[in-house]
Amino acid sequence: MRVYDIIRKKRDKEELTKEEIEFFVDKYSKGEIPDYQASALLMAIYLNKMNKKETAYLTEAMMNSGEVMDLSAIKGVKVDKHSTGGVGDKTTITLAPLMAACGVPVAKMSGRGLGHTGGTVDKLEAIPGFSIEMTPDEFIKSVNDLKVAVCGQTASVAVADKKIYALRDVTATVDNISLIASSIMSKKLASGADAIVLDVKTGDGAFMKTLDDSFALAEEMVEIGTAMNRETIGIISDMDEPLGYAVGNSLEIIEAIEALKGRGPKDFMDLCETLGAYMLVSSKLVSSYEDGLIRIREAIKSGAALEKFKEFVANQGGNPDVAEDYSLLPQAKHIVEIKSDKTGFIDKIEAEAIGVSAMVLGAGRETKEDELDLSAGIVLKKKVGDFVNEGDTLAVMHFNREEKFEDAKRRFKDAYVITEEKAEPKKLIYGVVTKDGIEKF
């Protein structure tokens, strides 16, 4: 078999066989296919697409390109949750201890942020002492003892995805449904969970900008998970404006803790409740979505979720006192209010531009080598639909890198559209995809 022939077939819109896809994944993972040929094939896939069968073969080949974790030593139904990525998305930090407090074993492997989207691992590292390094035995023991552990993605899981993703990132081939579905599902399937709840983001700050594409991505991932005997649910949620108010690592930790105290922003609380209720149903701990909601609200009200957060942080070497004293988190030297130039209703806050603005301040990395400033970021004071007068504060910027401020501020201001008329309120959840079909809200 020759990779040249595989590229030519896809260029000519032909279907690839299981053997051809396995050959490419295996040889590229081992460094036996050069990046220029892999790039050509990825671009041919991007332009001419893969059908569902090819996508399933690609997912399986990538899953088998590394270690497939065995979590059978963890008791109970392990439920994983994965977000396709967004701005201000601190959901895992709240949901992991919240689900553990409700009785769901959470064994979570998380990633770092790149570009305008943040990553759970970076956010957790804003907690002094917190470590995501764990041996497999420590990870399993933590989940059995505490019901929660979050570790970094190990280099040995879905090896092909790491190489292919890095290449996609620099060849403009990220936002393709088959490539995203196989990338995410290969990692989820290799991570060993019994059930998977996918938070598929839609809108300006998401990879999938339209609802149709977001539903199609969710459908594809649910089909792959179902075919591999994992109960898989896809929830389509809004990422047109940032989630909650805080964007930036330590600022998002504060907002995630506030949510565990029942005081989080409405959109963020609603998303945690929705995803959490589906996770509880998938874990078979409750028999209905409504019972899931009741259990979640009780865990927050009783303080059990916050206590679980402190146990989880302490278990991974972090200082649990951050839950009560936010000044223990990294603090920026400069805290500057950004004022509105206009009077009117906020019609749009482009999530991607806000993510880039926070990244410029130091909250994210443009390249893998960039060093983060864990204290940097933006706290919005207004959201879409709010009324502002000229001179009102739109947001507060936290930063240390003074030379970056003007650029970040310009990008931030360009992200706002302020109009005379109030826009129709937007939905947070657009629908749910299960093996039984699509339900649109």
Which residue, 186 or 249, has its beta carbon nearer to ligand URA?
Answer: 186
Minimal distance in Å, beta carbon 56 to ligand URA? Answer: 16
Q: What share of the chain is helix, strand, coil (3-state, %, to 5)?
A: 45, 15, 35
Which residue, 184 or 374, has its beta carbon nearer to ligand URA?
Answer: 184
Tell me which of 161, 199, 238, 373 is the catalytic residue.
Answer: 161
Strand residues in 8-159 grouped as ranges (E): 79-83, 106-110, 148-152
Residues that bind ligand URA (CB under 6 A): 84-85, 165, 174, 179-180, 183-184, 207
Tell me which of 187, 310, 398, 404 is the catalytic residue.
Answer: 187
Q: Has 410 been annotated as catalytic?
A: no
- The 8-class DSSP code of residue 118 comes to -
Residue nearest to ligand URA (CB): 183
Residues in the chain: 441
Minimal distance in Å, beta carbon 161 to ligand URA? Answer: 7
Q: Has 414 been annotated as catalytic?
A: no
Tell me which of 10, 147, 168, 411 is the catalytic residue.
Answer: 168
Cα Dmax for the chain: 66
Minimal distance in Å, beta carbon 20 to ligand URA? Answer: 21
Identify which of 102, 98, 64, 96 has the alpha carbon closest to the alpha carbon of residue 82. 96
Compute the distance between CA of residue 246 and CA of residue 117 in angstroms, rounded to an integer.
13
Q: How much is the CA Rg of the chain, to the nearest whole Å?
A: 21
Minimal distance in Å, beta carbon 168 to ligand URA? Answer: 7
Which residue, 184 or 378, has its beta carbon nearer to ligand URA?
Answer: 184
Residue 89, token pair as written in the block? 């998305």
Q: Are 428 and 436 in contact (CB under 8 A)?
A: no
Tell me which of 183, 237, 250, 340 is the catalytic residue.
Answer: 183
Cβ neighbors of 314 (< 8 A, separation 6 or more) are 320
Q: Has 347 been annotated as catalytic?
A: no
Identify which of 415, 148, 98 has the alpha carbon closest to the alpha carbon of residue 271. 98
Q: Has 183 been annotated as catalytic?
A: yes
Minimal distance in Å, beta carbon 58 to ligand URA? Answer: 12
Which residue, 174 or 314, has its beta carbon nearer to ligand URA?
Answer: 174
Q: Has 238 been annotated as catalytic?
A: no
Which residue, 59 or 274, has its beta carbon nearer to ligand URA?
Answer: 59
- List, by residue number, the catalytic residues: 82, 161, 168, 183, 187
